[in-house]
Amino acid sequence: MSAKSEAKENGPDSKPMLGNRLFEGHKKYELTEETTCGVWFLRGDFLQRFANQKSYVFLYGLMGLILSAAYSYFNGTITTIEKRFQIPSQTTGIISVGNDISTLLVGAIITYFGGKGHRPRWMAFGLYTVVLFCLLNALPHFLYGPGDDALSLTMEYGGSTIDHNATQDALEKFHSSSLCKAKIESDDGPEAEGSSAPAIILFISQVISGIGGSLYFTLGVAYMDDNTKKSQAPVLVSLSYFIRMLGPALGYTLSSLCLKWYIAPTLTPKIGNGDPRWLGAWWIGWLLLGFIMFVVSSLLGLFPHTLPKAHYRRQISKMSNKSQVEEPDTKASVQDMIVTFKRLIQNKALMCTNGASIFFFFGYMPYWIFMPKYIEIMYKTSASEASLVTGAIGLVFSALGILAGGAVITKYKPKARSMALWNMTVAAISAVGLLSYTALGCPYTHDPVGEIQNGTVNYNSQCNADCHCDYVKYTPVCMNGNPYISPCHAGCKSYVTFENGSKIFTDCTCVKNQTAQGVPLPPIAYPGPCPADCSSQFHIFLVIICILKFVGATGRATNFLVALRCIDEKDKAASMGLGSTLMSSLAFIPSPIIFGYIIDTTCLVWGKTCSGKGNCWLYNAGQLRYVLSFSAAFFVFIGTMFDVGVWYLVKDLNVFDDKPPKPPVVDEELKNLKNDPPKFGEDR
């Protein structure tokens, strides 16, 4: 289409052109409002050179990296947040589904209308809500501070000298309050620190983030697919997924670094980060993530409505197929939205694909949200180490799997049935891998000493019956490999402090020490949990995680292509919005709540206050491992059955549009344009 003919088509009353060149070569074409980068006064040749699919894929992937880092940072700091504000895992699960609740309520609707408008600007608007999400997550720290318990374990507030042996030092006052006492001054226990307000703030922040997350994931991929050739879509989508998948690694690594600092960085802690009472600086990362996200989302909003290269291809296609009647683009309306969603729900292949994803994510959700917590419980690692391992190792293999899957699809262009068959294989391997977790427990850990009564463990036995330990905080002690919840539960009435600052508890009525020959020893206990060597099982667990993440990630591109090609071109954004709504309502919302409840049922030691129970300090690792693994594998297996249905329904689906095209109707204007093709920068 020449500049002269375009002027005729626009007419004398049309808006003036913007003066930027669409193509550089022998012919020059004026940019339209639809293909121009920038907003308001932020326009020009400098921005226009980035109006290509490579720049978009990179920036879209970078934004996904930061977004994924934010969500994984929350997961990496869950245990610290629970300890700081005394939040049970079930409540944490409810908090984590806040973003899915907003996706359920408005995701499909806002995605439908956003898909009809300027999609990059809609994405930028949505991502600003995620910036607010980051700031709100840090707000509870500024409102409530580090907490009295954390302050009491610092040199500035607790006095005494520093001892870097975390399990051998505590404050005199704290030791005294944890001893066995024959009498108590009051029947009232300690009040719960803080209130439910921190949990409410965290929940609200999650709800707000769901708007931006749904717009990013749905409109972003649809915009990418609309502005690329079908043959290039797999590798570009895989590349953006690859960049995005590095985000969780960044998020967990950032949480690991932040948790190594004490929750009050300006104070000097008297315990090390291996102590179960350690609270890391969980709030710092949110400030950094919010700032970076604001900058990148602003840049993403500068992309044009349609990339110039894609706009040129569409003009060629229209001129080549003048004999075909082009279906007009329907304007956004409530009536059209209802018709669109009804059409999508009646698509069997699409609904089976969504069903497979729902059950797969339902089963894997607890391991994504609670993985650092699971590693801490199962293999006795610190919160910092658990976050670092989760992000830096397992998720890197996910990113590599996405790249490998995209490269194979781009090179060999498999049929839809082959892709569906591979999805079935991936699901089956995942189910078997989850079952293998049951064999990877740590045999060197023991539960606290207590008596089993009516199927439950009672830690108030005869030896500590007069100690009144109900409201004593979790302060583990150990003797001869037998752990106790606190010196009080071990019946210890006093302690001895040595010159080097270390301490031992004495006069412990529940501790029976003797030599191999049966000679009795003084009834003493040592501060801190009993040592446990779980390194062998932990390393095997990491190897299996890496294999499962790599294999599972190779199916991302295949699942995406099958879901996108089984619908009409005009329904892409609406289809992804519907899929997000279904995923939120049937997987992302119920799964964390259900599995959070399951995790809480395996708790052995709850923090106790007069107003109720707080967070869990110690779990039954063996019971948790079996219940979690079998439940997750069951849901993934059901998802495999839906993959079988997808395999059956997509036998005639064309993924790469490799059918020979009809002979085009070529006129003189199109002929001249093809003989003298314009150069288009770096995007070919």
The reported pTM is 0.63
**Domain co-membership, 617 together with 500:** no
What letter represents residue 148's amino acid?
A: D
- On the question of pLDDT at 636 being above 50, the answer is yes
pLDDT in tens, 551-576: 988 887 788 788 878 888 778 777 87
Per-residue confidence (pLDDT) for residue 100, from 0 to 100 = 77
Two tokens at 322? 């003048």
Which of residues 545 and 235 earns the better pLDDT score? 545
**Domain co-membership, 468 together with 596:** no
Per-residue confidence (pLDDT) for residue 158, from 0 to 100 = 56
Q: Which domain holds residue 522?
A: 451-527
Per-residue confidence (pLDDT) for residue 638, from 0 to 100 = 93
Burial 586-605 (b: 16+ CB within 10 A, else e): bbbbbbbbbbbebbbebbbb
Helix axis angle, 572-583 to 334-345, nearest 10°: 70
CA distance 235 to 648: 26
Classify residue 539: in a domain, yes or no. Answer: yes
Per-residue confidence (pLDDT) for residue 328, from 0 to 100 = 53
Q: CA 556, 559, 562, 563 torsion: positive or negative?
A: negative
- On the question of pLDDT at 664 being above 50, the answer is no
pLDDT in tens, 8-52: 333 333 333 334 444 443 344 456 777 777 777 777 777 888 878
Of the CA atoms within 13 Å of residue 552, those in its CB half-sphere come to 26
Classify residue 495: in a domain, yes or no. Answer: yes
Q: What integer is the mean pLDDT of 532-555?
A: 85
Q: What integer is the mean pLDDT of 280-298?
A: 90
- On the question of pLDDT at 620 being above 90, the answer is no
pLDDT in tens, 143-166: 888 888 788 778 777 544 444 343
Helix (H) or strand (E) holding 618: strand 612-619
- On the question of pLDDT at 2 being above 80, the answer is no
How many other C-beta atoms can be found within 10 angstroms of the C-beta atom of residue 28?
11
**Domain co-membership, 105 together with 217:** yes
**Domain co-membership, 126 together with 165:** yes
pLDDT in tens, 374-421: 887 888 777 667 767 766 676 678 878 888 887 888 788 888 888 889
**Domain co-membership, 153 together with 273:** yes
Per-residue confidence (pLDDT) for residue 446, from 0 to 100 = 62
pLDDT in tens, 255-275: 888 888 898 888 888 777 767
Per-residue confidence (pLDDT) for residue 10, from 0 to 100 = 38
Bridge pairing between strands 456-458 and 612-619:
unpaired
Q: What integer is the mean pLDDT of 657-670?
A: 48
Per-residue confidence (pLDDT) for residue 17, from 0 to 100 = 39
CA distance 434 to 671: 59
Classify residue 391: in a domain, yes or no. Answer: yes
pLDDT in tens, 179-193: 877 554 444 444 444
Classify residue 28: in a domain, yes or no. Answer: no
Which of residues 326 and 455 earns the better pLDDT score? 326
pLDDT in tens, 647-656: 999 887 877 7
Range in 5-9, 128-132, 422-426, 580-584 with the lowest mean pLDDT: 5-9
Which of residues 117 and 555 earns the better pLDDT score? 555
Classify residue 4: in a domain, yes or no. Answer: no
Which of 7, 51, 52, 9 minimizes the C-alpha distance to 30? 7
Mean pLDDT of the chain: 75
Radius of gyration of the chain (CA): 30
Classify residue 644: in a domain, yes or no. Answer: yes
Q: Tokens 């093809």 correspond to what residue?
A: 674
Classify residue 115: in a domain, yes or no. Answer: yes
The contacts found for 169-174 with CB under 8 angstroms, 24 or more apart, are 169/270, 169/271, 169/501, 169/502, 169/503, 169/527, 170/270, 170/271, 170/475, 170/503, 170/527, 171/270, 174/475
Q: How confident is the model at residue 633 (pLDDT cuts 50, 70, 90)?
A: very high
Q: What integer is the mean pLDDT of 198-203?
A: 90
**Domain co-membership, 622 together with 598:** yes
pLDDT in tens, 443-493: 666 666 654 444 445 666 777 777 877 777 777 888 777 788 888 888 888
**Domain co-membership, 270 together with 369:** yes
**Domain co-membership, 455 together with 414:** no
Two tokens at 312? 């040129």
**Domain co-membership, 505 together with 610:** no
Query: Among residues 505, 527, 549, which one ends one of the domains?
Result: 527
CATH number where 200 lies: 1.20.1250.20
**Domain co-membership, 214 together with 230:** yes
**Domain co-membership, 247 together with 380:** yes
Which of residues 217 and 348 earns the better pLDDT score? 348
Classify residue 8: in a domain, yes or no. Answer: no
- On the question of pLDDT at 244 being above 80, the answer is no
Q: State what percent of residues in the chain have pLDDT above 70.
A: 73
pLDDT in tens, 301-324: 888 877 777 767 766 666 665 544
Per-residue confidence (pLDDT) for residue 515, from 0 to 100 = 61
Range in 117-121, 123-127, 263-267, 282-286 with the lowest mean pLDDT: 117-121
Angle, alpha carbons 450-454-456 (nearest 5°)? 45
Which of residues 385 and 85 earns the better pLDDT score? 85
Q: Are 296 and 289 spatial neighbours (Cβ–Cβ below 8 Å)? A: no
**Domain co-membership, 211 together with 304:** yes
Specify the number of domains making up the chain.
2
pLDDT in tens, 576-609: 778 878 888 888 888 888 888 888 888 877 766 5
